[in-house]
Structure formats: C-alpha cells, structure tokens
Amino acid sequence: MYLSRESYKRIINGLTDGLYIVDQEKKIVLWNQAAERISGFPSAEVLGRSCSENILCHTDETGINLCSNGCPLLATMINGTSHEGEIFLHHKNGHRVPVSVHITPLCDSRGRVIGGVETFSDNSNKKADALRLRELEKLALLDGLTQLANRRYLERELDARLEEMNRYEIPFGVLFMDIDNFKRVNDFFGHVTGDRVLQFVAATFNANSRPFDLYGRWGGEEFVGIVRNVTAANLKHMGQRLRQLVEESFVITQEEELHVTISVGATMALPDDTISTLLQRADALMYQSKAAGRNRLTMG
C-alpha cells in the first residue's frame, strides 16, 4: 500500500501528542498541530530554528535548563538510543507545562543518525481544570485576568479545609506567593506586559497543580495555594518546585526574555488556626523571604 505525502501529513497532524523532528544541527524540520497546541508556538515560528532558541527550553523539576545541560534529544542523537522522561517545556505565553517526552534517533538507510524525533504529551490537569473553571464561572468565583480562583473562593476553600482538618484530621498547607519587584515590571514595560506576567505565573501554578489542590489570586501580584493532604516536607518541596518553574519561565517582550521570580511563605494549618491566623502566618513568612533576598521559600 502506498501513502501519499498528504496522507502522512494528515496522520502526523492527527496525533494527539506533540511531535517534532530535528536535523543534525538540531534545527526543526517538522512540527505537528499537537505541538502547536501544547506549546502555543505555530509551525511558522519554529521551522528552521533550533529547538532551544526561545522555543521549548526544556527544564527538569529543579529548574535546570536541559537545552544547555543534559539535553535528552542531543543525547539520543549522539548515542543512537531512545530516551524518555518527565520534563517541563516553555509555553509561548511564558508558563511551564509538564510533559512526558519520548525521543528516538532518526537514521538514514545505512543506519547513520541524521536527526531526532521527539513526541511529547501534556501532563497538566486539563480535564480537572476545565471542570473547575466551569464551576467557578457559575459561582462568579473566577479571577478574570488569571483564570484562577479569586479571593472569595479561596476564603471559602480555606474555611472548608479547616473544618475538614478538625473533623477528619486531614492535613493541609498554604503557600503564600508574591511576584518580586512587580512594580518595576509595570513601570518599565507597562501594565499590558504586567498582565502577561501575572497570566504566565498563574498558568504555571495551574498547569503544575494536583487536581484536588487550589491556586488563586489573592490580590494584585499575590497568589495563594491551598495544598491538601501533605506533610510539611511535601509542602516545602511543592513550593520550591513552583518557585523554580517560575524562575525558569519567561515572556518575550521588546524582543527580550522577561524573567520574574516569586517569594514564598509556606506553612501547615494548625488545629487552632482561623483563616486570618493561617494567612497572616503565611504572609509573614513570605515577607521573610523578601527580606532574605527574594526568590526563595521560607517555611514555618
């Protein structure tokens, strides 16, 4: 059976996973429609460019940029063996998306490696997010700019989690997060860019959260994460992971990468806590992170 070029193209674009192919110089020669959807980058913006050139910019969960240190695609092309793993790609809007990748060498008829093929699937909780968004929209509990829960919904959720903890001893923690030097972003780049920064930071929280946790915008550039059924060590790890993902993310403005960082206060809820005492403690810990130099997490 013979398949035409158009048939192959339809098959590749019909895949639910992102797929792209690079040549020996790691320049992208094919970019399917799922890759466009998951990354936000249309094929016209990536074909002929290196995959590390402000496009996917893969990082691991500690924030290490794999494009410059430990690129699995390059390792596949050098060793001629397949690789797979869980990493984070850079979305065009600035946030980080968790993906599962599988990379295989592309060989010619003589078995010589002439490129690489990478497929990647979106690991963010999109189905759970869609249900959550619909419910929030019904209740008018959605922040219009960031698409996260608003302050009213966060307060309701905190009240429910405190009752759950006291009745069933199910622990939870709070992450209080603030974008560092956000006023400088607004003053230098303008409020439109400031809004883009708020959106990509919010999208990072949303894409990398568990379905039963809740992240919301408390106000201005402040965000709150309500993390259920965790230990203090788990909470600290999750907060550090989000902090590192934000640090390694960026938006393109004025043809430059605009990076921001967040300061985080992390605390476990205590049996005698109220919403006020819990958030005051988390807020104070966040300000300790600010005072210690920003872009860090303080646990207490």
Q: Give the β-pairing of 214-219 and 113-122.
A: unpaired
Please indicate whether residue 45 is annotated as part of the active site. Answer: no
DSSP state of 59: B
Q: Is 212 exposed, middle or buried (0-12, 13-18, 19+ CB in 10 A)?
A: exposed
Length of the chain: 300
Give residue 117's Cα distance to chain centre. Answer: 23
- Which of 36, 118, 157, 221 is the catalytic position? 221
Using CA atoms, how far apart are residues 20 and 50, in angstroms rounded to an integer? 12
Torsion of CA 100, 84, 34, 17, to 10 degrees: -80
Number of neighbours of residue 2 by Cβ within 10 angstroms: 4
Give residue 279's Cα distance to chain centre. Answer: 24
Q: Supply the Cα-derived Rg of the chain in whole angstroms.
A: 21
The CA-based diameter of the chain, rounded to the nearest angstrom, is 72
Catalytic positions, written as ranges: 221
